[in-house]
Structure 1
Amino acid sequence: MHPIHSPESPSRAGRSDRLPLVVWTGLAALLLLGAQLRWRYLRTISLYVDEFTTLWAAERIQKIGVPRMPSGVLYTRGILASYLEAGFLALFGDTYTVGRLPSLLLGLATIGVIFWCGKQAWNARVGILAAAGLTLLPEAIVWSGRARFYALFQLLALLTAWALFAALTTLEPARERRRLALFALLFWLALFTQEQIILLYPALLLAMLLWRGPRYLLRPGVMAVNLICLGGIAARFLMEKLGQPGYFETIQSTRPYMGLVFDVQGAWQTYAPLLIAPARLPWTIAGLLALGVALVLWGQMRSLEKLPRFHQATLFFALQFGFVFLVMLTLVGTTWRDARYLFFVQPFWLLCGAAGMVWLIDRLLTQENMRWAVTGVTALVLLALFWQPARSTLAQQVEGYDRVFAYVADVRQPGEVVLSPQPPACAQVLGECDYYAIQHGYEEYVIQRDGELIDRWSGAPLLQSAEELTGLLEEAPGVWFVSDSLRLATRYDAAFLRVLIQQFDIAYSERGVLALYAAGARSAPEMTEERELATPLVLGPLALAGWAYSPPRAGGAFHVTLIWQGAGAIDRQYNTSLRLINEAGGRLAQADGPPARGIIPTTLFFATPLPDPKVLELPADLPPGRYGLEIVVYDVATSEAAGAPQVIEWIDLE
Structure 2
Amino acid sequence: MTPGPFALKQRPAWWQQPVLWLMPLLLLGFWLRLSYLLGSVYFYDEFISMLAAVMTAQKGVPILPSGLFYDHGLLFSYLSGGLVALLGFKEEIARWPVLWLSVVTIAAYYLAARRLFDSVLAGILAAALAALDETSILWGGRARMYTPAHLFVLLTSAWFLLGTLQRPTPRTRYLALLFLAAALFSHTMTFLILPPLALLLVLFTWLYGRGWLRQPRLWQEAAVGLVIVALALTVVAGGMNKPSAKVIVQPEPSAVAPPPLGLGFLRGFIWPGLEWDRFDNLVGFFEEPPYDWLRPIIGLALLLAGYRLLRRQAKFGDVALLFLALFLALVIFEMGALLTDAWSKSRYVFIPALPGFLLLSAGSLAHLLSLPMALAEKLGQPALKSVWLKGGVMLAGVALVAMMWGSRAWNVAQAQGTGDYNTAFAYVKANWQPGDRLMTTHPAAAYLYLGFCDYYANQVSASVFRDEGEDNALVDRYAASRLVDSVEQLNAILGQGQRLWFVVDEQRLYERFEPFFTQQILAQMDLVEQTGATYIFRSRPYPTPVPAQPAVRLEANFGNMIRLEGYHLDPAALAPDGTLPLGLYWRLTGAPTRQLKVFVQLRNAQGQIVAQADHFLLEGLLTREAWDAWQQKGEWLRDTADLSLSLPLPAAGEPYRLYMGFYDPKTLERVPVMGDKSGENAVVIELPPVEAAR
TM-score class, shorter-chain normalisation, is 0.7 to 0.9
Instruction: Find the residue that maps to 1:395 and give its secondary structure.
Output: coil
Whether contact under 8 Å (2:550, 2:585) holds in the other structure is no
Alignment gaps of 5+ in structure 2: 1-8, 257-266, 377-385, 674-679, 690-694
Name the residue aligned to 2:358: 350
What pairs with 1:218-297 in structure 2 (closer than 5 Å)?
Answer: 221-244=217-240, 245-246=242-243, 247=245, 252-253=254-255, 256-268=268-280, 270-297=281-308
**For 1:230-279, what per-residue CA distance to the aligned partner results, in whole angstroms no more than 9, with x for missing partners?**
333332232233233314896842583233322224532x2344322244
Whether contact under 8 Å (1:539, 1:633) holds in the other structure is no
1:629 matched to 2:659: yes
Name the residue aligned to 1:597: 619
1:334 matched to 2:354: no
Whether contact under 8 Å (1:261, 1:334) holds in the other structure is no
Name the residue aligned to 1:483: 504
Aligned-residue CA RMSD (Å): 3.6
Mean Cα deviation higher: 539-548 or 498-507: 539-548
Give the Cα–Cα distance (whole angstroms) in 1 for the partners of residues 192 and 549 of structure 2. 62
How far apart are residue 17 of structure 1 and its match?
Answer: 2.9
Name the residue aligned to 1:609: 636
Whether contact under 8 Å (1:540, 1:642) holds in the other structure is no
Instruction: Find the residue that maps to 1:169 and give its secondary structure.
Output: helix
What pairs with 1:42-441 in structure 2 (closer than 5 Å)?
Answer: 42-122=37-117, 123-171=119-167, 176-213=169-206, 221-244=217-240, 245-246=242-243, 247=245, 252-253=254-255, 256-268=268-280, 270-301=281-312, 307-344=314-351, 345-365=353-373, 366=376, 367-393=386-412, 394-395=414-415, 397=417, 400-441=420-461
Give the Cα–Cα distance (whole angstroms) in 2 for the partners of residues 618 and 413 of structure 1. 29
Among 513, 518, 526, the alignment partner of 1:497 is: 518
Whether contact under 8 Å (2:671, 2:681) holds in the other structure is no
Q: TM-score, normalised by structure 2?
A: 0.81
Matched AA of 1:330: A
Give the Cα–Cα distance (whole angstroms) in 2 for the partners of residues 114 and 483 of structure 1. 39
How far apart are residue 295 of structure 1 and its match?
Answer: 1.8
Describe the shift of the 1:266–1:30 C-alpha distance in structure 2 as closer, same or farther (beyond 3 A). Answer: same
Give the Cα–Cα distance (whole angstroms) in 2 for the partners of residues 135 and 351 of structure 1. 13
1:561 matched to 2:583: yes
Describe the shift of the 1:253–1:569 C-alpha distance in structure 2 as closer, same or farther (beyond 3 A). Answer: farther
Whether contact under 8 Å (2:558, 2:671) holds in the other structure is no
Whether contact under 8 Å (1:545, 1:564) holds in the other structure is yes
Matched AA of 1:297: R
What pairs with 1:451-490 in structure 2 (closer than 5 Å)?
Answer: 451-475=472-496, 477-490=498-511
How far apart are residue 75 of structure 1 and its match?
Answer: 0.3
Give the Cα–Cα distance (whole angstroms) in 1 for the partners of residues 587 and 239 of structure 2. 43
Give the Cα–Cα distance (whole angstroms) in 2 for the partners of residues 77 and 584 of structure 1. 69
Give the Cα–Cα distance (whole angstroms) in 2 for the partners of residues 566 and 525 of structure 1. 18
Matched AA of 1:562: L
Instruction: Find the residue that maps to 2:551 and give its secondary structure.
Output: strand
Name the residue aligned to 1:446: 465
How far apart are residue 364 of structure 1 and its match?
Answer: 3.1
Give the Cα–Cα distance (whole angstroms) in 2 for the partners of residues 272 and 288 of structure 1. 15
Mean Cα deviation higher: 135-144 or 161-170: 161-170
Matched AA of 1:147: A
How far apart are residue 426 of structure 1 and its match?
Answer: 0.7
Describe the shift of the 1:316–1:419 C-alpha distance in structure 2 as closer, same or farther (beyond 3 A). Answer: same
Describe the shift of the 1:631–1:199 C-alpha distance in structure 2 as closer, same or farther (beyond 3 A). Answer: same
Give the Cα–Cα distance (whole angstroms) in 1 for the partners of residues 479 and 400 of structure 2. 48
Name the residue aligned to 1:25: 20
Instruction: Find the residue that maps to 2:613 and give its secondary structure.
Output: strand
Among 638, 651, 654, the alignment partner of 2:686 is: 651
Give the Cα–Cα distance (whole angstroms) in 1 for the partners of residues 144 and 593 of structure 2. 32
How far apart are residue 137 of structure 1 and its match?
Answer: 1.3
Instruction: Find the residue that maps to 1:291 and give its secondary structure.
Output: helix
Describe the shift of the 1:249–1:401 C-alpha distance in structure 2 as closer, same or farther (beyond 3 A). Answer: closer
Give the Cα–Cα distance (whole angstroms) in 2 for the partners of residues 502 and 638 of structure 1. 27
Name the residue aligned to 2:264: none
**For 1:322-357, what per-residue CA distance to the aligned partner results, in whole angstroms no more than 9, with x for missing partners?**
211222233332333322211123132122222222
How far apart are residue 150 of structure 1 and its match?
Answer: 0.6
Whether contact under 8 Å (1:41, 1:145) holds in the other structure is yes
Whether contact under 8 Å (1:129, 1:379) holds in the other structure is yes
Matched AA of 1:434: D
Whether contact under 8 Å (1:633, 1:643) holds in the other structure is no
Mean Cα deviation higher: 283-292 or 471-480: 471-480
Instruction: Find the residue that maps to 1:213 and give its secondary structure.
Output: helix
How far apart are residue 653 of structure 1 and its match?
Answer: 7.0
How far apart are residue 455 of structure 1 and its match?
Answer: 0.9
Give the Cα–Cα distance (whole angstroms) in 1 for the partners of residues 111 and 401 of structure 2. 19
Whether contact under 8 Å (2:58, 2:85) holds in the other structure is no
Give the Cα–Cα distance (whole angstroms) in 1 for the partners of residues 501 and 192 of structure 2. 43
How far apart are residue 187 of structure 1 and its match?
Answer: 0.8
Describe the shift of the 1:253–1:273 C-alpha distance in structure 2 as closer, same or farther (beyond 3 A). Answer: closer
Give the Cα–Cα distance (whole angstroms) in 2 for the partners of residues 527 and 120 of structure 1. 67
Name the residue aligned to 2:260: none
Whether contact under 8 Å (1:103, 1:148) holds in the other structure is yes
Whether contact under 8 Å (2:546, 2:640) holds in the other structure is no
How far apart are residue 157 of structure 1 and its match?
Answer: 0.7
Matched AA of 1:318: A
Whether contact under 8 Å (1:545, 1:565) holds in the other structure is yes
Give the Cα–Cα distance (whole angstroms) in 2 for the partners of residues 528 and 319 of structure 1. 58
**For 1:193-222, what per-residue CA distance to the aligned partner results, in whole angstroms no more than 9, with x for missing partners?**
112122111121123212323976797744
Mean Cα deviation higher: 514-523 or 104-113: 514-523
Whether contact under 8 Å (2:550, 2:583) holds in the other structure is no
Whether contact under 8 Å (2:558, 2:672) holds in the other structure is no
Instruction: Find the residue that maps to 1:29 and give its secondary structure.
Output: helix
**For 1:458-489, what per-residue CA distance to the aligned partner results, in whole angstroms no more than 9, with x for missing partners?**
11121223333333334463211111122222
Whether contact under 8 Å (2:527, 2:535) holds in the other structure is yes
Name the residue aligned to 1:10: none
Whether contact under 8 Å (1:294, 1:312) holds in the other structure is yes
Alignment gaps of 5+ in structure 1: 1-12
Whether contact under 8 Å (1:279, 1:386) holds in the other structure is yes
Q: TM-score, normalised by structure 1?
A: 0.86
Describe the shift of the 1:415–1:357 C-alpha distance in structure 2 as closer, same or farther (beyond 3 A). Answer: same
Describe the shift of the 1:230–1:624 C-alpha distance in structure 2 as closer, same or farther (beyond 3 A). Answer: same
How far apart are residue 299 of structure 1 and its match?
Answer: 2.1
**For 1:595-648, what per-residue CA distance to the aligned partner results, in whole angstroms no more than 9, with x for missing partners?**
1234544553342434322245689898545856331164x6887766557544
